[in-house]
Homo-oligomer: A and B are copies of this chain.
Amino acid sequence: MVKAQVSLEHMYRVFTKPEHHDSKLAQIEQHLSDNILDFLSQHVVTKKTSLEEIEQDFSDSRVPESPEFVSSHAESLLDKLVAHSVNTYSPTFIGHMTSALPYFHLPLAKLLVGLNQNLVKIETSKAFTPLERQVLGMMHNLVYDESDAFYEQHLHSARHALGAFCSGGTVANITALWVARNKILGPQPGFAGVARAGLNAAYQHYGINNLGVMCSRRGHYSLSKAVDVLGIGREQLITLPCPDQTLDPAMALEAGKRYQQAGNKLLAIVGVGGTTETGHVDPLDELADVAKELGCWFHVDGAWGGATLFSSTYRKRLKGVERADSVTIDAHKQMYVPMGAGMALFKNPEDANAVRHHAQYILREGSKDLGATTLEGSRNGMAMMVYASLHIFGRRGYELLIDQSIEKASTFADMIDRHPDFELVTSPTLSLLTYRVCPAAVQNKLAQASDEERRIINEKLDRLVVKVQKQQREAGKSFVSRTRLEAPRYPDYSMTVFRVVLANPLTTHNDLAAILAEQHLIATTQPLWQQLCELVDSDTETAAASG
């Protein structure tokens, strides 16, 4: 490899000299701009490469001593990295919440890095600060629909925050519960508040044994991270069973009362607006009532489903979200913004003051610096991508995208339902669904099997689903994820299922049919399939013999 010169002159050139138009990196860029789908299909290698093989390419732990030319490095990035990345733009990548992005984000990404603003303070962001506040205002408006006067008063106020922009839903959830904790265990005469005095002193002052957060078993794992980080403890995340995939309000009320009667304080109920695993929406309106009755914070994790509010047809599925004290929405999910655009929104614009902080060189008292109420410090200007998307799609554009995703999920559910060898496990509320592969005869058998027989069959089916999911992923044409969950049919059994997220607008019905066909083909060639069929056959024979 030709090594670059070790001189300050060369280093300055790296800062000041644009890529030559026929340099390797410029070529990569051009190809990306001309046709990203073509670029990805040409460069992302779909053939099976094991992680261990890839790790070989990234195994040198020493910082390279000498500089390398940009172009020769670009070559190596293409070979080692791009070739073995995941084609998240592919219409047949329907396993997770990452999908194709609109084209305009490519040039905007360059503008973002070109401007390299830091939104922690106005001195390094200027117009980006009011822009981010406006984006938070628009999202707040989408959820809470307050009056024009309300937004006029709070949008650019130094003493208020309609939300906190952050890198993603996990930080948004932590931020919301941080605000809740600091507000609910706030200062009182003779007590400086939990932010200053700490959790231990707060428990003593308020005379409580424990602080708890309640959600269903489908609550996102970031909630258990949140209670860990915040010092509450993972054991105080009360996760209620939910065979129907949603948090039962009566059960929540009862569990909450029991918790309180034991000398504990319930900090928050978290309703999920589109669970990560099945896309179900908790009964938010009823849960708001429960939270009110229990006197606790009500947070809605709408990281995935929040964008459903753009749809006049489906926004009612989130009814009650406007009663939440805080709401998480990720723009990098159903708003098709690149990774790294989370938001926590606050119903009450004063609540963020519970975590307000200052420094001598920035975030001074009375400043409008955004960093005064965010968990993160230095942050980039991703809000620009959300701003651009909100304008380029508009509410009605997003509505069309949301509607087609939900309708596509419903069509796919029908396809699964009609296929004799598949079993729909959870129907889509939004654009997620889960199902499994299961020979038709075995489905019949399960309907009348004993508990023990059912357990044996389900365990085999679990293994079959894992095998099919892995082989399909490794074949590289398409990707569906998997998870384990309890479903209405077998409420006491945590079964393994395929999980599908229909996020990509480019996914067609034909793509879905092909994915199902591929899974069927892989499944029927497994020894496990044979074993399952034999199980049923032997039953039939026994029945025939004894008949």
Contacts and interface: CB of A to CB of B under 8 A. Distances in A.
Interface stretch (A254-262, A378-386, A521-529): A378-386
A198 B202 CA distance: 13
Contacts of A88: 115-118, 124
A277 B361 CA distance: 7
Interface in A117-171: 117-118, 121-131, 133-134, 137-142, 148, 151-152, 155-156, 166-171
Interface in A468-502: 473, 479, 481-485, 494, 499
Interface in A1-30: 4, 6-8, 10-12, 14-19, 25-26, 28-29
A326 B117 CA distance: 28
Contacts of A131: 58, 80-81
A482 to B, nearest CB: 7
A73 B127 contact: no
Interface in A26-85: 26, 28-29, 32-37, 39-40, 51, 54-55, 57-70, 73-74, 76-77, 80-85
Contact of A105 (B36, B113, B376): B113
Interface in A74-124: 74, 76-77, 80-86, 88-89, 95-98, 100-118, 121-124
Interface stretch (A188-196, A289-297, A435-443, A539-547): A188-196
Interface residues of A, number: 189
A535 interface: no
Identical chains bound together, number: 2
A538 interface: no
A198 B231 contact: yes
Contacts of A33: 18-19, 26, 29, 110
Nearest to A403: B8
Interface stretch (A279-287, A352-360, A452-460): A352-360
A217 to B, nearest CB: 10
A396 B5 CA distance: 10
Given A77-B384, A114-B39, A117-B88, A107 B6 contact: no
B65 A37 contact: no
A126 B89 CA distance: 14
A144 to B, nearest CB: 10
A235 interface: yes
Contact of A15 (B15, B103, B182, B377): B103
Given A15-B103, A379-B168, A482 B361 contact: yes
Interface stretch (A221-229, A243-251, A422-430): A221-229
B86 A134 contact: no
Interface in A295-339: 310, 330, 332, 336, 338-339
A516 interface: no
B397 A6 contact: yes
A433 interface: no
B98 A118 contact: yes
Nearest to A32: B114
Nearest to A168: B378
B130 A66 contact: no
* Residue among A18, A25, A127, A330 with max Cβ neighbours from chain B (10 Å): A127
A186 interface: no
Contacts of A98: 116-118, 124, 378
B86 A124 contact: yes
B388 A77 contact: yes
Contacts of A360: 277, 483-485, 494
A338 B116 contact: yes
B113 A400 contact: no
A200 interface: yes
Contacts of A117: 85-86, 88, 98, 339
A81 B127 contact: yes
Contacts of A388: 73, 77
A394 interface: yes
Contacts of A484: 360-361
A230 B233 contact: no
A463 B392 CA distance: 46
A416 interface: no
A375 interface: yes
A404 interface: yes
A86 B137 CA distance: 23
B195 A233 contact: yes
Given A29-B110, A276-B361, A363-B221, A54 B130 contact: yes
14 contacts: A6-B396, A12-B506, A15-B336, A25-B108, A51-B122, A58-B133, A81-B128, A88-B118, A96-B118, A96-B124, A167-B340, A170-B378, A171-B376, A277-B361
Given A25-B104, A58-B134, A340-B380, 14 more contacts: A19-B33, A19-B103, A55-B130, A66-B396, A66-B397, A80-B127, A82-B115, A83-B127, A88-B115, A101-B113, A109-B109, A167-B379, A178-B229, A277-B361
